[in-house]
């Protein structure tokens, strides 16, 4: 039996940043069955999304306003990534070269104009860019693009190394990592949390932070309900080439994101589906490629950014996205379960990672996170859940 | 045949079996299956790229669900453009064992396999087929062989009587190199490579150190490109067999029916390849319900030829000194990942950043080893071995985290305005084998 004051479940971007923020002030142990950042936190395109994506507009304006509640988290995340880059002496690599969502049809132009209006009303600093101005601002997009929405602070993080750097800094601050143990049980016992691990004799902790991404629902299931939706997404990357894209380029109505990272490789993502197959084992799922997704992503990318012509795609992969069922982040203590904190962002989870980690750390220390977390409480699922039944 | 619309999951046509490759094993599989009434497509991997083998989709693409037992879809491309989408019930991977991949750290790919060579080339490694190929296309400036002259003689003498014939090509090639005036450095491996203006400067390790060579291109013919990509891409396990000196595919009943034939299954030599092809065809014929297998007597003879082919593979592995691992005691400048220019020293330097013990995946993620043009085909074993020395035990590349991924060969992005006039070519290149 291991004891700790705070146990963080999950070694992705949320878990690693929570450990980083907690370590100076508390005894922290991070557990993960697969290793450091083996799932969404390295499978992701790691875009910094600071305007809302096309998915936020799917359900009409009421739905859009619900999504717009993350603005305070977005602003916090923007500041926090910049601070992490500076605190680690640039080893956490953050690039803010500006991001653009393009419209290729008149319908999409109308949607984008409305999106920008709604975003600006909610406090976002998005701007609409007319076709005539695009040539100067983002010359790499195709002449068929009729308009775009622009956010100057968007960009990307080097997700390959970010979690490693945060984990190293957290270790230097005293945090411990167990990267071979799966959580198999969670219960309240004698005023503390008793967490069963496999292998291992379990962990006793005052506070438990569940930062398990797509696995949040499964980890919490003995004591609380946070319904998650799991989907498989497709990414591709080209060989390294000369500079061809200087911004993050996304699309109004098609799942597409294109950017060229500092090594010269162009990453193509945006959320095209992959197949998710249930399997035995600690993960419970496996992803498989869908040919149609690979090809459509490549076709969209080179149509919107013609300068990619001739580059070769050398690799594609799939990742699992776990999103809360209502698509809004879940950050907070589970009602009726003292010391059980959930932190999962879902759709733009990588962007929000450090904010989710920070907020969870502050809650674990009983301090004010400095962000209004009311809209993100796990209590909103209590009506459909079993919040009372789990304590054994 | 037409290029399918983006996102269209339907195959253009459906056959029984797709065979990828061009050697004796591939041809034997095709002949045997045709004889027994199957409809077979032979995709010649020298001209057609196989960029995806995916399960036939059932219901809504992307939904969680079972696979369609009807089989899988093979995507073929010519010059990077979609060419043909074929549905089938089984795929045979009979890919050849080496690739003539120019070695340029961190930069653009300098040429294509099969391209005519100019003379300003360094050939590194000892693979017979690759050396033969290089000599057919031009005359390299130098050839660096990892084994010493004495070791080569020793191997020739120790070769089993049955395999003496297999040693002849090696002797013949050495004679040919001498006649062409090519300098052969025995006992010399590639330690490091750097850019020197438009050229490359290659530094040797072993005999004749401090005598670097500046050339336009370096070709690696050390057999570190596994022949089993196709099988690995759909999840078949593939591991480096030190005894066999090759990548060996283990088929799993739970996987799609992708079967390795010939070199992909650790068999060498024309007789062995052809015999293995017939046996693989028989395996597939049983799978898809065809009658008329080889008679018991012939099967025994085929088995014998395959065993000799495996012996030959082992012996060739011996003379080529093929080892995927950085030798103990090698220097910090030993190149581990040629595509991204990652050295042994780079690996040691990142230790503080890695969890203890590190996995090969950790190494890849942090150093970019395995993220270059060859996608880990050349460095996966070395990275795995290094991580293993740090404490992890698995030698299985799939388990170790360097997962094979699609596309199988780099795929060119093409703007839609460009003509897609490759259908006729594709028709010519993808030979249809009607029963």
> CB within 8 A of A138, min separation 6: which ones?
A98, A100, A129, A148, A150, A246, A247, A249
Is the pLDDT confidence value at A268 over 70?
A: yes
A179 → chain B, closest CA residue: B355
Q: What is the pLDDT of residues B128-140, one digit of tens each?
A: 666 776 777 778 8
CA distance A54 to A254: 8
Least CB–CB distance from A164: residue in B73, B366, B414 = B366
* A277 with B362: Cβ contact below 8 A: no
Q: Which residues of B touch A306 (CB under 8 A)?
A: 415, 417
CATH code 3.50.50.60 for B101-222: yes
| Every domain of chain B and the residues it spans | 13-97+226-318, 101-222, 335-400
Q: What DSSP string describes B197-251?
A: TTEEEEEEEETTTT--EEESEEEEESS-S-TTHHHHHTT-EEEEETTTTEEEEE-
> So what's the ipTM on this one?
0.84
Is the pLDDT confidence value at B28 over 80?
A: yes
* A38 with B361: Cβ contact below 8 A: yes
| Of B46 and B39, the one with more pLDDT | B39
**pLDDT more than 90, % of chain A:** 72
Nearest Cα to Cα of residue B315 among B264, B246, B383, B366? B246
Looking at residue B49, what is its pLDDT?
65
Q: What is the pLDDT of residues B61-89, one digit of tens each?
A: 333 334 344 577 787 776 556 677 888 88
> CB within 8 A of B110, min separation 6: which ones?
B102, B104, B217
pLDDT category of residue A180 using cuts at 50, 70 and 90: confident
- How many angstroms separate the CA of residue B96 from the nearest CA in chain A? 20
Looking at residue B429, what is its pLDDT?
34
Residue position matching structure tokens 């190394």: A161
* B80 with A36: Cβ contact below 8 A: no
The DSSP code for A265 is E
Residue position matching structure tokens 């080529």: B320
| Of B183 and B313, the one with more pLDDT | B183
Looking at residue B138, what is its pLDDT?
77
Q: What are phi and psi of B280, to 5 degrees?
A: -65, -40
* Among B367, B413, B415, B418, the residue to mutate for chain A (most A Cβ within 10 A): B413
Least CB–CB distance from B415: residue in A167, A288, A306 = A306
Signed CA dihedral, B164, B165, B171, B173: sign only? negative
**pLDDT more than 70, % of chain A:** 97
CB pairs < 8 Å spanning A and B:
139
Q: What is the pLDDT of residues B162-217, one digit of tens each?
A: 455 556 677 788 888 999 999 988 877 766 666 666 677 777 765 555 688 888 77
Nearest Cα to Cα of residue A181 among A1, A364, A365, A390? A1
Q: Which residues of B touch A179 (CB under 8 A)?
A: 355
Is the pLDDT confidence value at B302 over 70?
A: yes
Looking at residue B55, what is its pLDDT?
62
Q: What is the pLDDT of residues A53-95, one digit of tens each?
A: 767 777 778 888 888 888 899 999 999 999 999 999 999 999 9
Fold of B13-97+226-318: FAD/NAD(P)-binding domain (3.50.50)
**Cβ-based burial of A6 (10 A; exposed 0-12, middle 13-18, buried ≥19):** buried
- Structural domains of chain A in order of their starting residue, each with its CATH number: 2-42+160-227+326-384 (3.50.50.60), 97-156+229-323 (3.30.9.10)
* Among B6, B52, B62, B68, the residue to mutate for chain A (most A Cβ within 10 A): B62
Q: Work out the average pLDDT over A124-138.
A: 94
| Of B322 and B350, the one with more pLDDT | B350
pLDDT category of residue B21 using cuts at 50, 70 and 90: confident
Looking at residue B128, what is its pLDDT?
67
- How many angstroms separate the CA of residue B175 from the nearest CA in chain A? 39
Six token digits for residue A270? 């945006």
Q: What is the pLDDT of residues A332-370, one digit of tens each?
A: 999 999 999 999 998 888 999 999 999 999 999 999 999
Q: Which residues of A touch B359 (CB under 8 A)?
A: 35
* B375 with A315: Cβ contact below 8 A: yes
pLDDT category of residue B110 using cuts at 50, 70 and 90: very low
Residue B357: asked if its preceding bond is cis (omega within 30°), the reply is yes
Residue A52 contacts B, CB cutoff 8 Å: no
- Asked if B13-97+226-318 and B101-222 have one fold, the answer is yes
Q: Distances in Å between the alpha carbon of A309 and those of A55, A312, B191, B411?
A: 28, 9, 35, 11
Is the pLDDT confidence value at A155 over 60?
A: yes
Looking at residue A213, what is its pLDDT?
95
| Of B53 and B274, the one with more pLDDT | B274
Q: Which residues of B touch A168 (CB under 8 A)?
A: 352-353
In this structure, of A114-123, B220-229, B311-320, the range with the lowest mean pLDDT score is: B220-229
Nearest Cα to Cα of residue B152 among B199, B183, B185, B112? B185
- How many angstroms separate the CA of residue A50 from the nearest CA in chain B? 26
* Among B3, B7, B112, B357, the residue to mutate for chain A (most A Cβ within 10 A): B7
Residue A199: asked if its preceding bond is cis (omega within 30°), the reply is yes
* A303 with B54: Cβ contact below 8 A: no
Nearest Cα to Cα of residue A138 among A126, A150, A120? A150
Give the A window 307-366 contacts with B, CB below 8 Å. 308-317
CA angle centred on A58, ends A54 and A59, rounded to 5°: 140
- How many angstroms separate the CA of residue A43 from the nearest CA in chain B? 11
B357 → chain A, closest CA residue: A179
pLDDT category of residue B244 using cuts at 50, 70 and 90: very low
The DSSP code for B146 is S
Q: What is the pLDDT of residues A280-304, one digit of tens each?
A: 877 888 887 777 888 889 999 999 9
Q: Which residues of A touch B54 (CB under 8 A)?
A: 288-291
In this structure, of B10-19, B127-136, B209-218, B254-263, the range with the lowest mean pLDDT score is: B254-263
């Amino acid at each position: 039996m291991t004891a700790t004051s705070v146990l963080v479940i999950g070694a992705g971007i949320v878990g690693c940043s929570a450990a980083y923020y907690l370590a100076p002030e508390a005894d922290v142990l991070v557990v993960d069955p697969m290793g450091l950042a083996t799932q969404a936190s390295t499978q992701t395109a790691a875009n910094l999304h600071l305007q809302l994506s096309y998915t936020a507009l799917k359900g009409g304006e009421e739905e859009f306003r619900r999504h717009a509640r993350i603005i305070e988290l977005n602003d916090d995340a923007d500041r926090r990534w910049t601070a992490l880059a500076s605190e680690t002496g640039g080893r956490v690599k953050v690039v803010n070269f500006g991001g653009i969502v393009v419209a290729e049809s008149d319908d999409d132009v109308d949607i984008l104009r409305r999106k920008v209006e709604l975003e600006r009303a909610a406090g976002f600093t998005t701007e609409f860019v007319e076709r005539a101005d695009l040539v100067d601002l983002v010359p790499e997009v195709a002449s068929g693009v009729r308009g775009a929405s622009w956010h100057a602070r968007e960009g990307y993080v080097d997700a390959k190394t970010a979690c490693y750097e945060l984990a190293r800094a957290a270790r230097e601050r005293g945090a411990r990592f167990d990267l071979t143990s799966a959580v198999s049980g969670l219960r309240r016992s004698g005023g503390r949390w008793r967490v069963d691990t496999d292998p291992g004799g379990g962990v006793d902790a005052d506070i438990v932070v569940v930062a398990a991404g797509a696995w949040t629902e499964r980890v919490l299931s003995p004591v609380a309900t946070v319904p998650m939706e799991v989907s498989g997404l497709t990414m591709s990357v080209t060989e390294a080439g000369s500079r061809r894209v200087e911004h993050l380029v996304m699309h109004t109505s098609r799942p597409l994101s294109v950017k060229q990272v500092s090594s010269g490789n162009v990453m193509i993502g945006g959320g095209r589906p992959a197949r998710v197959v249930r399997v035995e084992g600690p993960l419970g799922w496996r992803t498989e490629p869908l040919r149609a997704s690979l090809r459509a992503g490549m076709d969209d990318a080179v149509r919107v950014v013609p300068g990619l012509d001739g580059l070769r795609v050398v690799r594609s992969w799939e990742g699992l996205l776990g999103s809360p069922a209502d698509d809004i982040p879940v950050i907070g203590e589970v009602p009726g379960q003292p010391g059980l904190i959930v932190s999962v962002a879902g759709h733009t989870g990588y962007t929000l990672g450090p904010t989710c980690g920070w907020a969870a750390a502050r809650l674990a220390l009983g301090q004010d996170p400095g962000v209004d977390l009311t809209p993100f409480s796990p209590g909103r699922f209590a009506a459909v859940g079993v919040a009372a039944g789990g304590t054994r | 045949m037409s290029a399918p619309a983006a996102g269209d999951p339907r195959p253009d046509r459906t056959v029984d079996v797709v065979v990828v490759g061009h050697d004796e094993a591939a041809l034997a599989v095709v002949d045997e299956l045709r004889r027994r009434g199957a409809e077979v497509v032979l995709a010649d991997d020298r001209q057609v790229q196989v960029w995806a083998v995916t399960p036939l989709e059932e219901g809504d693409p992307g939904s969680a669900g079972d696979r369609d037992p009807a089989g899988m879809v093979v995507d073929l491309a010519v010059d990077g453009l979609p060419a043909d989408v074929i549905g089938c019930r089984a795929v045979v991977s009979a890919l050849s064992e080496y690739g003539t991949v120019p070695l340029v750290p961190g930069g653009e790919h300098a040429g294509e396999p099969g391209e005519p060579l100019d003379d300003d080339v360094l050939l590194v490694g000892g693979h017979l087929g690759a050396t033969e190929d290089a000599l057919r296309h031009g005359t390299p400036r130098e050839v660096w062989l990892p084994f010493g002259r004495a070791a080569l003689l020793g191997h020739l003498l120790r070769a089993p009587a049955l395999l003496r014939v297999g040693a002849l090509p090696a002797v013949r090639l050495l004679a040919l190199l001498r006649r062409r005036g090519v300098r052969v450095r025995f006992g010399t491996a590639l330690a490091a490579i750097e850019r020197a203006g438009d050229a490359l400067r290659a530094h040797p390790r072993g005999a004749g150190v401090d005598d670097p060579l500046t050339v336009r291109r370096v070709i690696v013919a050390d057999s570190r490109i596994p022949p089993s990509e196709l099988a690995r891409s759909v999840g078949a396990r593939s591991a480096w067999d030190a005894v066999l000196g090759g990548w060996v595919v283990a088929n799993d009943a739970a996987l799609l029916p992708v079967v390795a034939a010939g070199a992909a299954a650790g068999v060498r030599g024309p007789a062995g390849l052809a015999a293995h092809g017939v046996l693989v065809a028989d395996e597939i014929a049983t799978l898809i319900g065809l009658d008329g297998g080889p008679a018991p007597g012939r099967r025994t003879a085929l088995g014998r030829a395959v065993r000799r082919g495996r012996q030959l593979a082992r012996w060739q592995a011996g003379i080529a000194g093929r080892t995927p691992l950085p030798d103990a005691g090698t220097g910090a400048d030993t190149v581990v990942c040629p595509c991204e220019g990652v050295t042994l020293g780079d690996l040691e330097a990142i230790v503080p950043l890695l969890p203890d013990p590190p996995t090969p995946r950790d190494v890849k993620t942090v150093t970019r080893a395995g993220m270059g043009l060859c996608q880990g085909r050349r460095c996966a074993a070395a990275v795995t071995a290094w991580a293993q020395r740090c404490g992890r035990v698995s030698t299985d590349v799939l388990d170790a985290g360097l997962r094979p991924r699609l596309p199988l060969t780099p795929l060119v992005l093409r703007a839609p305005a460009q003509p897609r006039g490759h259908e006729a070519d594709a028709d010519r290149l993808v030979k249809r084998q009607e029963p």
